[in-house]
Amino acid sequence: MSVITDAFLKKTLHPGHKVFLPRKEKMILNFIKKIIVLFMTMVGTLGNISVSMNYMFSWWAGPKKKPIHLILIHLAFANIIILLGKGLPKTMAAFGLRNFLDDIGCKTLIYLERVARGVSICTSSLLTVVQAIIISPRASGWRRFRPKSAWHILPFFSFFWVLNSLISMNLIHSITSTSLNTSQLENENNYCHFMLESQKTKWIVLPLMVLRDAVFQGAMGGASGYMVLLLHKHHQHVLYLQNSKLLYRTPPELRAAQSVLLLMLCFVFFYWTDCAFSLFLSLSLGNNFLMTNAQHFLALGYATFSPLVLIHRDGLLTECWHAQ
């Protein structure tokens, strides 16, 4: 999502790639884009705030500090930064509001958004791995890696922020405000502009981003497959008990694992669809207006819909209501 998108952004900003739509059609599509971007930004931000507040309440009020709750709070925090860093400026630009970002503001906003996107990928992977360890059988060797305390998770968060901050350092030099070029704002409907980078910088940064995504998504895929196997065995056990007319309730750890798997399916869908769209656009000869805007929505998809998956799956709004 980040590697191919970087290459695509630099291509779409090249002045030689333009495809013009009829004025009326473009106005209608721009209006639809405004509504969708505004809706996704508002719903995603409110959803992540709701999830983080609920788990923070469970964290401080509960008798036992659960590592999963701390990871979900951190994931919601990263998603909020993504939505505010990417969705808010695009919403304001789409509605024709005055550019409030100078050069330093653009560098800071885009840098934080890109770092938070990498942190979101790493945190999602950590969430899957920790949940897989939690539900692993007692006889399994993975049990010895189970966090003895939720506070043992904090060093991973620090590592994620430092790692992604270093990987995204090139953005500080390749971003500028469109206030320096008013035609860019009109053409791209955005406040910040990506400048072309040197080949040396590109070949240093892109391999690091590919390696990061490969490692963390590989861990996510392995942990997800392991959880699917454990849940399948549990399902067979439940069927046996039902045939034996014995009552059996699903442990909360397994219900949490099902929620995490749904969350990872959401991540995989938006990540790889975003990559497919970006790859198609980077290889195409023209700048497809519909595909470009669809890719923008996909970039916000996981941050928007992941809290809704948790709210629907875990009934967080009901829990908050009863807590009040």
239 pLDDT band (50/70/90 cuts)?
Answer: low
CA nearest 126: which of 170, 173, 67?
A: 67
Residue-wise pLDDT tens digits, 68-108: 889 999 999 999 999 988 877 777 766 666 666 777 878 88
User: Averaged over 60-66, what is the pLDDT?
Assistant: 73
Q: Is 218 exposed, middle or buried (0-12, 13-18, 19+ CB in 10 A)?
A: exposed
Number of other CB atoms surrounding residue 259 within 10 Å: 18
Structural contact between residues 118 and 85, judged by C-beta atoms closer than 8 angstroms = no
214 pLDDT band (50/70/90 cuts)?
Answer: very high
277 pLDDT band (50/70/90 cuts)?
Answer: confident
Specify which of 22-31, 44-53, 312-321 reaches the highest per-range mean pLDDT.
44-53
Q: Distance (Å, rounded) from C-alpha 4 to C-alpha 213?
A: 12
The two three-digit tokens of residue 63, written as one number: 């008798």
Structural contact between residues 192 and 89, judged by C-beta atoms closer than 8 angstroms = yes
The two three-digit tokens of residue 191, written as one number: 């406040």
DSSP calls for 230-255 = HHHHHHHHHHHHHHTT------HHHH
pLDDT of residue 118: 94
Domains of the chain: residue spans and CATH: 3-14+23-323 (1.20.1070.10)
User: Averaged over 39-43, what is the pLDDT?
Assistant: 90
pTM comes to: 0.81
